Structure 1
Amino acid sequence: MSESFSAAVRFLRSESRLLEQRLFASLFLGEPPGGVVAALRGYQNDDGGFGHGLEPDKRCPVSLPIDVEIALQAYASAGADDPDMLRRACDFLARGSVGGAVALASDAIEAYPRAEHWSEWTYQPGLNPTAGLAGLLHRIGFAHPWRDEATRYCWRALESGELPDEVHALAEVLVFLEHAGEPDRAERHAKAVLERLTSSAMFHLDPEAEGYGLTPLTVAPAADSRWRSLFTEAQIDGHLDHLARAQEADGGWPITWEPPSAAARLEWRGIVTLGALRTLTSYGRLQPDR
């Protein structure tokens, strides 16, 4: 299996953007996380938010909460330590908050190339991305008044019993529940969230399902993921088998939706290829090169 790993590394070095290359170096080569922070600085605007297509499906330079979330994911994965970067990002989120909730995007994206799914529905504040952002800040251990307000918003939304139907929002809720610091309370909600998640047509319990959808490996991307126990070993193994088979001849992994440009496609393939390496090595399906 080491040839599969080597082929993926060649793809990352040939085709992926600097951020994924620096993150790979931190995760697999032992390089310090400062390289990831340095790459992220290129996406951070003067208002403290992140933009410039950090999430590649909209080629918009304006700061957007979805781009802050992508930045926090990389930051947390690398184990970075730059409180000023986080404070500025949280100040940006606070300025756009409505009762603690933020929207994925704004109508600023309409002036730039974007995938079809980036439309008006992304302008509404909600659990997607608020729950994911708050969960990541708890994971990092960064306290901020907006994080506390967002946390209260998320708990209120969950206690209302009115869970969203949209799969990405539900996945964001699971990130929040994993890291928000109240494990007993989280366990009470997790099963209901999973039941709603797995009943959606956009959640693929069947590893051979075609088209775009979330999977058990979205919820449990690593062997020590908190919510791995919500799925059977057969379900996890089936998706790991499918993920391993999906590697393409150039060493990278494909995407299952239509991005707005060739550049966006390559950027996404770098993101999902690094994610596939992380998942397959965590579950013992790939052996990293040494």
Structure 2
Amino acid sequence: MTADIDKAASFMATHARVLDRRRFELLMGTTDANTVLAAVDGYRNPDGGYGWGLEPDLRAAESQPGGALHAMEVFAEIGTTTPRAVELCDWLETISLPDGGVPFALPVADPAGCAPFWLQVDPKQSALQSTAFVTAVALRVAEQDPAVAEHPWLRKAVDYCFRAIDAINDRPFAIEMCFAIQMLDAAHSTYSEAQGLLDKLGQYIPADGMVPVAGGKEGETLRALDFSPLPDRPSRRLFKPELIAAELERVAGEQKEDGGWTVDFHNYSPAAELEWRGYRTVSAVSILRHNSALG
């Protein structure tokens, strides 16, 4: 099955937020890096971090680790350097805890529209999930930006992730494991420790690549392409080629009649539901394109 890119473009124009419309255009080669950077700048705070609902289920204005992830994603996608990436590393250093990790989330003044799991956390405790998800993307940015690669925050965050992953002795929470694998994938070319830790986490993924999200929406499950979205990465050897091929077919086949894709997890506001659909549509098309599966 082949995805219909024209219908996807129509969906994005009709339903997606400006940032994801610009990201989609960048993916299609119809806009440039500066245009996308201008869109993500709307979520930036004077402290160098990002909030304002950049993470759709965290509507709060304050800068958050979740916002940092999505901003770093943009910096990884644009294919060029931007001083905003180093400035974000500076902010991440200010919120990092003594062990090098970052908290799952920071306090918010107004919880309206925020998922409860963003609010019911200890901001003085490091979380592998949040540290791994932003470190994974920062390592991708570092491949093209020496200033990010040399930033002291990044090395400390990587070391924290390595220690936390090494301490795992049972199957971790699915989303935490997903981000940890993506972090190890991004670290493999620079850090020798990454390969052994990737093998360790790989033992917790079943042959079909499906890992249910405990406590999530009924049927919420992470799959092979969630753990390993990019080809030619070390994590791909955790999955059989025929499984990856079948998953690419599945992703293409999940395009809805309106041209967009959906997510299988809970949304916590009407705005977030549409924003996640736009985000997921960019993600689906990106996965298909990078895996030469757009037809």
TM range (shorter): 0.7 to 0.9
Which residues of structure 2 form unaligned runs of 5+? 143-147, 213-217
Q: Distance in 1 between matches of 2:5 and 2:185?
A: 29
Aligned to 2:41: 41
Task: Give 1:260 deviation, angstroms.
Answer: 1.6
Q: Distance in 2 between matches of 1:102 and 1:169?
A: 14
How does 1:171-210 map onto structure 2 within 5 Å? 171-180=178-187, 181-182=189-190, 184-198=192-206, 203=211
Q: Distance in 2 between matches of 1:187 and 1:145?
A: 22
Cα deviation code 1:173-229 (max 9, x no counterpart): 122212224454222111211222449x9715xxxxx72121101122133343122
Q: Distance in 2 between matches of 1:252 and 1:160?
A: 40
Aligned to 2:24: 24
Aligned to 1:244: 252
Q: Which amino acid in the other structure matches residue 108 of structure 1?
A: V
Moved more, 164-173 or 103-112: 103-112
Aligned to 2:220: 212
Q: Which amino acid in the other structure matches residue 127 of structure 2?
A: G
Q: Distance in 1 between matches of 2:205 and 2:121?
A: 19
Task: Give 1:30 deviation, angstroms.
Answer: 5.1
Aligned to 1:271: 279
Q: Is the CA contact 2:128–2:161 (under 8 Å) kept in the aligned structure 1?
A: yes
Aligned to 2:126: 125
How does 1:55-204 map onto structure 2 within 5 Å? 55-83=55-83, 85-98=84-97, 99-108=99-108, 111-121=111-121, 123=123, 124-141=125-142, 142=148, 143-162=150-169, 165-180=172-187, 181-182=189-190, 184-198=192-206, 203=211
Structure 1: 4+ residue segments shifted above 6 A: none
Task: Give 1:32 deviation, angstroms.
Answer: 2.2
Q: Distance in 2 between matches of 1:117 and 1:242?
A: 29
Q: 1:70 to 1:145 in 2, by over 3 A?
A: same
SS at match of 2:247: helix
Q: Which amino acid in the other structure matches residue 188 of structure 1?
A: G
Q: Distance in 1 between matches of 2:239 and 2:122?
A: 30
Aligned to 2:215: none
Compute the TM-score of the two structures, normalised by the length of structure 2: 0.86
Q: Distance in 2 between matches of 1:56 and 1:109?
A: 17
Q: 1:93 to 1:183 in 2, by over 3 A?
A: closer
SS at match of 1:125: coil
Q: 1:114 to 1:256 in 2, by over 3 A?
A: same
SS at match of 2:203: helix
Aligned residues: 282
Say if 2:256 is the partner of 1:257: no
Compute the TM-score of the two structures, normalised by the length of structure 1: 0.87
SS at match of 1:111: coil
Q: 1:163 to 1:177 in 2, by over 3 A?
A: farther
Q: CA RMSD in A?
A: 2.6
Q: 1:186 to 1:163 in 2, by over 3 A?
A: farther
Cα deviation code 1:209-257 (max 9, x no counterpart): x721211011221333431221012221222222222111110011212
